[in-house]
Amino acid sequence: MVSELLSYPVNFLFSLFLLTFSPTSMNSTFSAQAPLKLTSSNYLLWKIQFEILFIGYDLLRYIDGSKPCPPKTLTTNNIVTPNVAYNIWVCQDQLIVNALIGSLSPTIISFITRANTHPKPSHNH
């Protein structure tokens, strides 16, 4: 169950929501609309709650990878300029990641932290 959550590409985000909600209000909005925290026994309910919320806010495209991260810069007539869409996408991505982390129970957060800190095996062994 947690492995399925972690298997999603963290390509989640959007611009309209970013313009409408600040990071603080987004977290309180997600907390109010998705009060169920993920535990070892409620994955399906937690998943349904977030799928409905992400569809409602048009965020599912960030999660399923259908709205990929735009390039960091744009080149026009050999002139490289920062891509504002990239900055918006990255900000939205981090807000979604923050909302997801906030929806995890302490036990699951601890599990994920341990899973991310284990040394990776070498290719020679």
For residues 71 and 14, what is the distance between their CA atoms, to the nearest angstrom? 15
As a whole number, mean pLDDT of residues 20-45 equals: 70
Q: Are 95 and 18 in contact (CB under 8 A)?
A: yes
Q: Is 79 helix (H, G, I), strand (E, B) or coil?
A: strand
How confident is the model at residue 10, as a pLDDT?
37
Terminal Cα distance for the chain, rounded = 29
The mean of the pLDDT values for the chain is 76
Report the share of the chain in percent with pLDDT over 90.
Answer: 45
Q: Around 101, how many Cα atoms within 13 Å sit in the side-chain half-sphere? A: 11
How confident is the model at residue 37, as a pLDDT?
92
Render pLDDT for 33-69 as a digit per residue (tens, 0 to 9): 668 899 999 999 999 998 998 999 899 999 999 999 9
14 pLDDT higher than 60: no
Render pLDDT for 96-116 as a digit per residue (tens, 0 to 9): 988 888 899 999 988 888 876
How confident is the model at residue 19, as a pLDDT?
36
Give the pTM.
Answer: 0.65
84 pLDDT higher than 50: yes
Tokens 């985000």 — which residue?
A: 13
- 49-57 long-range contacts (CB < 8 A, ≥24 apart) are 50/100, 50/103, 54/12, 57/14, 57/17
